[in-house]
Structure 1
Amino acid sequence: MKEIADIIKAHAQARKDGKKTALATVVKVEGSSYRRPGARMLITEDGILTGAISGGCLEGDALRKALSAIHQQENKLVTYDSMDEDDAKFGVQLGCNGIVYILFEPIFDDQEVNPITILAELESKRKNAALAVLFSLEGKKQIGTYMLLRQHDQFKNKENEYFPSLSDDLQQVLAEKKSTFLDYNAGKELITAFLEFISPPIALIIAGAGNDAQPLANIADILGWNVTIADGRLTHATSQRFPKANQILVAKPGQLLQQITIDENTAFVLMTHNYNYDLKLLDLLLPTNAPYIGSLGPKKKLIRMLDELNLNTDQNQSRVHGPIGLDIGAETAEEIAISIVAEIKAVLSGATAGRLKEKIAPIHVHEIKNN
């Protein structure tokens, strides 16, 4: 979602400056590629790039293709194939053994609904969403970013002329929380739909406004997470100390939970260095559906808190991550912040947090369902 937020901001600036833009979207990948379907990049007519569709090897050629789409005022699907050893003929060195399909869409700012307004609508609400991008691998009908669906909300680019089942298919993506590809017949042409499941960014609630919380808040902000700082001390929980935080709350534990919403992408980190504050907050959090609760400090501290709450069960010890973070040999506040962020990302993604070199299956093997 951070990439989408950055693209929306960049487009607003480009529009203010009177610059034409195009949106590049990775819509399909066969084999290995640095970025997966759903990666996006905004290109301005003067060559400013926001976002990324590769590790840097495609961006130069993508600029040329985007300018062509802008000047011809039509969507274009471009295929980059490095399965052939001589990939130099494409004018790029992909470095990956795969085929990447990228859709280029010129943005028409006079249109009420265009790819950017759809992305802006996506970002406007903190809800799971399913987004349909339609393209043709063999024909010329490159429809592009087409429809956004949330549970009780639909937002589309144009009338649904050929795809009466698309809303139901997007609803299925929402239910399964998994992106997929489907084919539709549009007249005599076969249209492929990339139906992308997109969840809101992680909401990180940092209970504690000490110096060690500052690098954690900064790293989470770089990742595009929504950061809330909570502490009972007026002198510590300030915008001067946490300029990148989305929200700063000076509150006791009970007051804190009354001012936030917990969803399936919410992570709590208890690091106030105030035992009683952490104890009270942990007591309030355990009955909630918060998917991640982490406690800074030694294991014996967590066990002591659970004992005092009469909640020292195997289930609660397993649910609360304490000591918090992955074992990366962290010592400094910055290193500890990295270990915490990495563990939160792994837990909420359902990943093992193991070394990639020891993984036998492809890295993204379960990311997208192919029908």
Structure 2
Amino acid sequence: MSSSHPLAPLPGTEHTEHAMYLGLEELGHFFHQRRDHARLVLATVVTTAGSTYRKAGAMMLFAEDGTRAGLVSGSCLEDDLAGHAAKVFASNRPRRVNYDLHDDPDLVLGLGLGCGGDLSLQLHPLNHDQGMNVLGSMFDAIAAGKDCRLLQFLSDGEGAELEGDGIAVTGSEGLAAGQSTLLETGSEHRTDDTPAVFALPISPPPRVLVCGAGPDAVPLAAQVRALGWRCLVLDHRAAYADPARFASGVDVWLQRPGTLAQAELETIDAAIIMSHHVEHDLAYLRCLSAHPPAWVGLLGPAKRKATLLERLGENTMTVYGPAGLDIGAEMPAAVALSIVAAIHAHMHGRDGMALGHG
């Protein structure tokens, strides 16, 4: 058992300093459909080493009827993991599962794996007496647009007993009422026989603002939603500001350019301005400059951007224009792919270059 502070990153989990949101929408739907009449098992990747499809923080949910949601690999481990989940249902105890793909060639061949990395997962039983309300609190926080942390006691082996639920949710103000003993038990003063705690920061999915609801905004909003991100589309034209034109889950508001309230601006992580009208684009830029999102893109050539920024005047906002990555995009679907890829790369601190060369 490691003697490090349990709320510091465990080896192989360093990347979880960035709050997780990947796949949580699918898990949330699965959870809410079953929480009132089924037991569930939560599987969480807690450490990885080498090349793995998913990293620490990836989660799955299993139901007793064999249904499941989420991914922890490229579909290589899920069937085997379902067998471990069945054992958790039978024992109602947490279980630690390790896949050592460097030292176990039989396992690699048997599961058809090709990544060659190692990963360790914690499986927690969830029912109405144990953990279900905790996970519900996590999804409630996400729905309310709030950050939280999911804390899990880590068992050493199969069927290990943990005190209480073995799982808790805390916000920025500390642990929720009634859960304080979990953090205290896992504090830096713990003894060697107390479990480590895996603390996973959880954030709501990014929210992307699309300024303009023309035909090219439709595939863009669809791409945003396909990633599980939130999407808000604005337009002052009633014929365009029609939710029926857009993918499920896209918020579409009929609103004049540049009139988005400050409270809404503070929830925006990225914005793309694509009204195809100079004065409207300028109004959107002025509005966004009051509280700039992490990424702002402007459709159109560089000369157009320069003209608009000159008219905007002094400001600290970085505007990417032409917006998107250089993938040779011309038609709306390809332009949407280019823009969403640029936003994704920026949010993850990547340069958007090719991963490998032929």
TM (normalized to structure 2)?
A: 0.84
- 2:149 matches 1:149: no
Residue among 30, 38, 45 paired with 1:10: 30
Identity %: 30
For 1:252, the aligned partner's letter is R
Cα distance in structure 1, aligned partners of 2:337 and 2:281 = 21
Structure 1 residues 325 and 196, CA gap change in structure 2 (3 angstroms): same
**Cα–Cα, structure 1 residues 15 and 197, in superposed 2: closer, same or farther, change >3 Å?**
closer
Give the letter for the 1:197 counterpart.
P
Aligned to 1:44: 63
**Larger relative contact order (Cα-Cα within 8 Å, sequence gap ≥ 6):** 2
Matched, 1:221 2:217: no
The one-letter amino acid of 1:39's match is A
Aligned to 1:31: 50
Mapped partners of 2:96, 2:149: distance in 1:
22
The equivalent residue for 1:99 is: 118
Q: Which among 251, 273, 277 is matched to residue 276 of structure 2?
A: 273
Match of 2:83 in 1: 64
Rounded to whole Å, the distance in 2 between the matches of 1:111 and 1:138 is 19
Distance 2:345 2:221 in 1: 18
**Structure 1 residues 156 and 7: CA distance shift in structure 2, 3 A:** farther
* Aligned residue number for residue 262 of structure 1: 266
Q: In 2, distance between residues paired with 1:44 and 1:322? A: 47
For the residue of structure 1 that corresponds to 2:196, the secondary structure is: strand
Query: How far apart are 1:197 and its partner, in Å?
Result: 2.3
Quote the residue 1:350 is aligned against: 349
Q: Cα distance, 1:266 vs. partner?
A: 1.4
Equivalent position of 1:160 in the other structure: 181
Instruction: Give the 3-state SS of the residue equivalent to 2:272 in structure 1.
Output: strand
CA distance in 1, matches of 2:308, 2:41: 54
Take 1:306 and 1:229, find their aligned partners in 2: how far apart are those partners? 22
Change (3 A) 1:89 1:273: closer
8 Å CA contact 2:42–2:62 kept in 1: the answer is yes
- Give, in angstroms, the shift of residue 21 of structure 1: 2.0
Partner AA of 2:228 in structure 1: G
Structure 2 residue aligned with 1:242: 246
1:222 CA drift (Å): 1.2
Which of 293, 297, 301 is the aligned partner of 2:300?
297
* Counterparts of 1:86 and 1:42, CA distance in 2: 28
Q: Normalization by structure 1: what TM-score?
A: 0.81
- Counterparts of 2:269 and 2:217, CA distance in 1: 17
Residue 293 of structure 1 aligns to which amino acid in structure 2? Answer: V
Deviations 1:223-266 (A, max 9, x none): 11111110010111011112424422111134223572324x61
Q: Which amino acid counterpart does residue 278 of structure 1 have in structure 2?
A: D
The gaps in structure 2 that reach 5 residues or longer are: 1-20
Query: Partners of 2:67 and 2:322 in 1: how far apart?
Result: 43
- One-letter code aligned to 2:333: E
Alignment of 1:321-332 (within 5 A): 321-332=320-331
Q: Deviations 1:186-234 (Å, cap 9, x if unpaired)?
A: x552522222223321111101111100011111111111111100101
Superposed CA deviations along residues 100-134 of structure 1, whole A, max 9, x for unmatched, are 11111121124575452243233233233332222
Change (3 A) 1:136 1:293: same
Q: Equivalent residue for 1:176?
A: none
Confirm or deny: 8 A CA contact 1:34 1:55 kept in the other structure. Answer: yes
Gaps of 5+ in 1: 167-182, 359-371
Q: 1:43: how far off?
A: 1.1
Secondary structure at 1:256 match in 2 = coil
Number of aligned positions between the proteins: 335
The residue type equivalent to 2:196 in the other structure is T
**What aligned pairs does 1:150-229 form with structure 2 within 5 A after superposition?**
150-152=171-173, 154-155=175-176, 158=179, 160=181, 163=184, 166=187, 185=190, 187-229=191-233
Q: Distance in 2 between matches of 1:196 and 1:120?
A: 14
Q: Which moves more between the two structures, 129-138 or 288-297?
A: 129-138
Distance 1:110 1:137 in 2: 23
* Distance of aligned partners of 1:115 and 1:105 in 2 relative to their CA distance in 1, 3 Å threshold: farther
